Structure 1
């Protein structure tokens, strides 16, 4: 993506660690092997350039079903990479080895995944994750875990949410958790699992630097209830 936009110095902060200023937004990570990075991951990036380029540059575009699928795969891949490098603050990685393998081999989207895309009035660069503990109707019984990943590049934003029920509740019908109240129908377009003949981007309303439509509301969309210091994901039922 660095070939499509140029960024100046950026603020970098991992978890609650110190904030630093870095002149190079492109980083080398150790959680992705050389082969994956230079084969299917690189190929997925290239296939998404026709869709991402206009959105990163704030140019209206239409996304057909084929490109919607590619963008969905890119969103999950990027969320998995973000999950793999999150700071070691006691939280385990959310996405399982089998889910990552399925993504590599067949581009399979993890179950109970939802995705939305939005727009920003000014360009930004960032990746933000929220680990979630999901509780039942009594607000005491923990029934599952989830993760929300927000990726912002240029004028484009994508948010990926995946949930997983605890094994003892897997047979029950557990409704999808809902975000904070907000005008999301105006600021976000559902990318997955909803299937559409076409998506016209940008949405009706773009996020701004601050104010009632500030981008911070998107990053805080799934931060509700009591703060949990440690979220230990549970493996999917086999």
Structure 2
């Protein structure tokens, strides 16, 4: 009896069904320029739902960590043509700029370089969403849609509803990727349909941290960040001086990734209540200024 062949997977970027490759989250050449230490990738799932009394319940935070060297993290959701083609070319074009940023070398980053860095950061955040079998409970679904990934591949730019910042990092993290995700449902809906997803991914390489904020809907609103620490690189038409006057600590990196829910659109409800802290009920007007994960 002939051996049954496994169905070909579809590449998450080009959508073609063909042979997959092992795509590393980080460029291979980084192993010569960084000490990995004890690294992990952490995912936090957040969201809220409604009950019949018009109260939105903020769900408990789910945290998962993957220990081991971050430089060895790979996915099998990208075809060989994409991995060895435009993605490899993107990493090589970025290499001189990325190494300089990692060392906090003084420089002026022009608009085209900022766009290149933002494109690579967004691509890396998209790949990061597939390190833990997205969709298999309890792993959240990816925030970035197939259309967003195709947009980045075709235009070599971050897709709509994406923002990217860069910060000088000072701390114990060497190579680190962490992501927070918020699921938003604006109407009473037990099935969690009709909502949208927001995520923030912090990518740290030695003395540099990139923050990628992405949403699958234009209704989502990004939280404001300290401009003396976090410099916007997308959208950015002017470029910037590097490094910024102030650095981001390890705690700052964690906070920006997990404060993804600090600002989001008004919901059709009067009260919001945390399921894990029943006594904490906040008025709707406070949602735009109070982090959703604060206790």
Normalised-by-shorter TM-score class:
0.7 to 0.9
Residue 10 (structure 2) aligns with: none
Cα distance in 2 between the residues matched to 1:227 and 1:79? 29
- Change over 3 Å in CA distance of 1:90–1:186 after alignment to 2: same
Quote how far apart the aligned CAs of 1:116 are: 0.6
Residue 186 (structure 1) aligns with: 228
Cα distance in 1 between the residues matched to 2:178 and 2:273? 19
Structure whose alpha-carbon radius of gyration is higher: 2
- Change over 3 Å in CA distance of 1:24–1:12 after alignment to 2: closer
2:176 counterpart (111, 123, 126):
126
Residue 204 (structure 2) aligns with: 152
Residue 248 (structure 2) aligns with: 207
Residue 160 (structure 2) aligns with: 111
Report the secondary structure of 1:29's partner residue: strand
- Change over 3 Å in CA distance of 1:121–1:90 after alignment to 2: closer
Quote how far apart the aligned CAs of 1:99 are: 2.1
Q: What does the per-residue CA deviation read over 1:121-146, in whole Å, with 9 as the maximum and x for residues that have no partner? A: 2452111111112466xx97975321
- Change over 3 Å in CA distance of 1:48–1:222 after alignment to 2: same
Report which stretch shifted further, 65-74 or 28-37: 28-37
Cα RMSD (Å) of the superposition?
2.9
Cα distance in 2 between the residues matched to 1:101 and 1:67? 21
Residue 216 (structure 2) aligns with: 164
Residue 43 (structure 1) aligns with: 89
Q: What does the per-residue CA deviation read over 1:38-92, in whole Å, with 9 as the maximum and x for residues that have no partner? A: 1111110111112111111121221111111111211111111011224542422
Q: What does the per-residue CA deviation read over 1:137-165, in whole Å, with 9 as the maximum and x for residues that have no partner? A: xx979753211111111111111111233
Cα distance in 1 between the residues matched to 2:124 and 2:161? 17
Cα distance in 2 between the residues matched to 1:19 and 1:29? 14
Query: How high is the TM-score relative to the length of structure 2?
Result: 0.62
Unaligned runs of 5+ in 2: 1-26, 44-62, 263-271, 276-295
Residue 12 (structure 1) aligns with: 40
1:221 counterpart (256, 259, 262):
259
Greater percentage in helix: 1
User: Aligned residues, how many?
Assistant: 211
Query: How high is the TM-score relative to the length of structure 1?
Result: 0.75
